[in-house]
């Protein structure tokens, strides 16, 4: 078997037994990148030389120090890595090299991981297709004419194409789960506050959360064990004990109440997606789970509320890019002109659109009508989930209303692009944990994702349900067949 096809837990087992070395595994992954990256474009920066150097120095004792020791992992390029470029796929940060390490990558480093590269994304994580990157368009490994999703499209495509063993992404409105669904891999968004955001370049600070993108559920739980926990450097980080997320894997789901929200099976949903998700619910029922119809009545307002709150926070956060302290600078006759020229050249059209929307929503005379009202709707959405999760253990929905769409199909209609996240956004507004796992293929051979949602800080129930379903099917074992002719 080609070593690059291994999952995290499989690779670690082989490393611990001495069946393979970190350098052999790293070389296999870098060879895979060399073979297919030209067609897929998952990476912005590939750290091959550094990865080989670290892997080559690892002794047998080093390999056994942590659950990630010797494992090549990719990091989304909006997560700071000291001494390595972090561009957010934006021209304004094209040559930015952080002087500090994010908390999540520091934790991975302490566990002995090997950074294989920084992955592509929609600029500043603003998008659903990775078409907003200033660097390149990432392609979906299942169909090179289609998008991989976004904004963590590079991470999802890299995992699906075996260009890394696992990856980290960030999720503000579905940016881990939606590309995971489009690319047929597992994407997990933790509870807000479970994972430190220190070193994550901010888009919308009350919504952003870092999480894993992996080849299976067990690998996701292992990565969560490594990155979760309180961080004094992040004021929104929760002071909560971190359980062993792998401990619930393998437990029966007999008697588990599974909520099915009627509002999430929306009009216009692709029939193949609906059929795959309904089959998945039936499969969970055959394992002993008890489906319960529930209602989340305010979820219909989630997209509208999200695009007021997220853009408002983006407007505030992106004000720091002024050409004065770091990043791109375009000189002008005075300070104001320098600001204008720098931002005109440095920001792409979608980022500008969201800054304008957010600035308008926060402006005098409109604040109460838009931002304040959206916060009130957010509270109602969270209350809906809290009430529903008193009656059920988890909630099950489609991850996306349709499979991956074609490159360029929605770029001229921002509203249609925004609606691709209609089933994921409400979790970020409510701060809840959710996972997307493969549950089928469309007649065209495109992956379908099943979303499982849990109570706040009850990631174990999400992993338990996801693992039980995953192990009873073979969807997670399906991989795109990338032909030499395509590459």
What residue ranges in 269-388 does DSSP mark as E strands?
Answer: 290-294
Q: 125 — alpha (psi -120 to 50), left (phi > 0) or beta?
A: left
Distances (CA, A) of 34 to 41, 292, 427, 465, 486: 11, 48, 37, 37, 14
- What amino acid positions are annotated as catalytic residues? 76, 151, 175
**Edge-to-edge strands of the sheet including 72-76?**
43-46, 114-119, 72-76, 166-170, 210-214, 186-189, 434-441, 447-453, 394-398, 257-261, 290-294
- Exposed e or buried b per residue across 52-69, where buried means at least 16 C-beta atoms within 10 angstroms of its C-beta: bebbeebeeeebeebbbb
Q: Using CA atoms, how far apart are residues 289 and 273, in angstroms rounded to an integer?
A: 21
Sorted by sequence, the CB contacts under 8 Å of residue 185 that are 6+ apart come out as: 156, 159, 160, 213, 214, 215, 438
Quote the DSSP letter at residue 456.
Answer: T
Closest by CA to 224, choosing from 268, 168, 269, 277, is 168
Closest by CA to 43, choosing from 211, 203, 179, 159, is 159
* Cβ atoms of residues 270 and 224 within 8 Å: no
Quote the DSSP letter at residue 22.
Answer: H
């Amino acid at each position: 078997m080609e070593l690059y096809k291994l999952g995290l837990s499989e690779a670690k087992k082989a490393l611990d037994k001495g069946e393979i070395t970190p350098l052999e595994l790293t070389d296999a992954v870098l060879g895979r990148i060399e073979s297919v990256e030209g067609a897929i474009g998952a990476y912005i920066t590939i750290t091959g030389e550094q990865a080989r150097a670290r892997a080559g120095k690892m002794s047998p004792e080093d390999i056994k120090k942590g659950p990630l020791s010797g494992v090549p992992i990719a990091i989304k390029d909006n997560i700071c890595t000291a001494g390595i470029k972090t561009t957010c796929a934006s021209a304004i940060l094209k040559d930015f090299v952080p002087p500090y390490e994010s908390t999540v990558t520091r934790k991975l480093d302490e566990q002995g991981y090997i950074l294989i590269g920084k992955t592509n994304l929609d600029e500043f994580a603003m998008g659903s297709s990775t078409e907003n990157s200033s660097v390149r368009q990432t392609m979906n490994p299942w169909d090179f004419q289609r998008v991989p999703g976004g904004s963590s499209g590079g991470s999802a495509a890299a995992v699906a194409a075996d260009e890394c063993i696992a990856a980290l992404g960030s999720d503000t409105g579905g940016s881990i789960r939606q590309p995971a669904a489009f690319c047929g891999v597992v994407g997990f968004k933790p509870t807000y506050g479970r994972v430190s955001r220190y070193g994550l370049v901010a888009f919308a600070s009350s919504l952003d959360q870092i999480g894993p993108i992996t080849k299976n559920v067990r690998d996701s739980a292992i990565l969560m064990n490594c990155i979760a926990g309180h961080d004094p450097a992040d004021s929104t980080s929760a002071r909560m004990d971190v359980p062993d997320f792998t401990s619930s894997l393998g437990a029966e789901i007999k008697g588990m109440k599974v909520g099915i929200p009627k509002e999430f099976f929306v009009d216009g949903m692709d029939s193949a997606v609906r059929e795959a998700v309904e089959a998945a619910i039936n499969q969970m029922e055959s394992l002993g789970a008890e489906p319960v119809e529930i209602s989340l009545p305010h979820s219909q307002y989630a997209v509208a509320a999200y695009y007021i709150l997220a853009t408002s926070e983006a407007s505030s956060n992106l004000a720091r890019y002024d050409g004065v302290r770091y990043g791109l600078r375009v000189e002008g006759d005075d300070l104001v002109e320098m600001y204008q020229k720098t931002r005109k050249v440095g920001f792409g059209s979608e980022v500008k659109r969201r800054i304008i929307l957010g600035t308008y929503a926060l402006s005098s005379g409109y604040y109460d009508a838009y931002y304040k009202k959206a916060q009130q709707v957010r509270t109602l959405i969270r209350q809906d989930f809290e009430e529903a999760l008193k009656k059920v253990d988890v909630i099950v929905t489609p991850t996306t209303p349709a499979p991956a769409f074609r490159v360029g199909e929605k770029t001229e209609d921002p509203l249609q692009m925004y609606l691709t996240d209609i089933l994921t956004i409400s979790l970020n507004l409510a701060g809840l944990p959710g996972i997307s796992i493969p549950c089928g293929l469309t007649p065209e051979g495109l992956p379908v994702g099943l979303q499982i949602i849990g109570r706040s800080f009850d990631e174990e129930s999400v992993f338990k349900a996801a693992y039980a379903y995953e192990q009873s099917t073979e969807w997670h074992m399906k991989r795109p067949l990338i032909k030499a002719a395509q590459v």
